[in-house]
Amino acid sequence: MGIIDVHTHIFPPEICLDRERYYPREPAFELLYQDKRKAPLSTAEGLIEAMDRARIQASVTFGFPWSQADLIRRSNDYILKAMGRYPERILGFACLNPELPDTLKEGERCLQAGMKGLGEIAIYRPETPGAWKEMIQPLACLAAVWKVPLLLHVNEPVGHWYPGKGRLPFWDLYDLIKAHPKTLFILAHWGGGLWWYQLLKREVKEVLANTFFDTAASPFLYRPEVYEFALKIMGEEKILFGSDYPLLTLNRYQRELDQAGLTREQQGRILGENTRRLLDWPSSARH
């Protein structure tokens, strides 16, 4: 079975060519992408070329949660076109900004057009307790109605600062998941380590029954032993390979999977089988 990357980003060519033009009205975008060397941008064609080099069968991709509705729509339209050009290679999620008034309408438009999830949903500025949960809840409801995953940007609450590291209270995240047991959640970047709390009493494991965790940016954030502990605590079926391309490529993850001592069968589930089962896509492993 082929490798599936559940966490990649692509942008329309005009944004890739002139990113500085968008900085004045998009401070979060500037924060994350002002360093061209450390934060490259990619088009759909760049993603396909990278997938071919790494022998990745398919990728889930999305844009950026812009603060301007026209950029949200333009980015989602670009990804829909990429899905049309590469139907067996690229699957789009609707990237939305929950602070915009027409977010649910845009999400429904994208799902009706063929996208199979919502994400990566990210709020990069501090929020008062409870505010983050209130903003995300309508999207959790939408995902449940459509029976598609909701992929959330989550980061570890301790350690070094880096662009994009937010101050999301873990209790807000946990309460959101608990309040929406029918929603499929994918928590990016190992969910900030939320899975660790499954070592507590039975409730946490039950609350996280429909929650999956992707590995995006793992080599930057965690030691390779994270795989060993995650397997013991939550099981291999909950771990989804995500590269955060173009930030990182497959070879960095492959080295760490080998260093962690995972069997080929375990690696196969993490690198593709779990995501294929969750999304029921793609239907064949041709690459």
* Residue boundaries of the structural domains of the chain: 3-279
As given in the structure block, the two tokens for residue 41 are 């941008």
- Which pLDDT score, from 0 to 100, does residue 240 have? 98
pTM (predicted TM-score) = 0.95
- Which pLDDT score, from 0 to 100, does residue 285 have? 45
Residue by residue, DSSP assigns the chain as --EEEEEEE---HHHHH-GGGGTTT-HHHHHHHS-TTTS----HHHHHHHHHHHTEEEEEEE----SSHHHHHHHHHHHHHHHHH-TTTEEE-B---TTSTTHHHHHHHHHHTT---EEEE---S---TTHHHHHHHHHHHHHHHHT-EEEE----SSS---TT-----HHHHHHHHHH-TTSEEEESGGGGGGGGGGGSSHHHHHHTTTEEEE-TTHHHHS-THHHHHHHHHH-GGGEE----BTS--HHHHHHHHHHTT--HHHHHIIIIIHHHHHHT--S----
Among candidate residues 272, 277, 256, 236, the one with its CA nearest the CA of residue 6: 272
- Which pLDDT score, from 0 to 100, does residue 159 have? 81
The CA radius of gyration of the chain, in Å to the nearest whole number, is 18
Per-residue pLDDT of the chain (287 residues), as tens digits, is 699 999 999 999 999 999 999 999 999 999 999 999 999 999 999 999 999 999 999 999 999 999 999 999 999 999 999 999 999 999 999 999 999 999 999 999 999 999 999 999 998 876 666 788 999 999 999 999 999 999 999 988 888 877 777 777 788 999 999 999 999 999 999 999 999 999 988 899 999 999 999 999 999 999 999 999 999 999 999 999 999 999 998 889 999 998 999 999 999 999 999 999 999 999 754 44
Q: What CATH number has the domain spanning 3-279? A: 3.20.20.140
Among candidate residues 154, 67, 148, the one with its CA nearest the CA of residue 108: 148
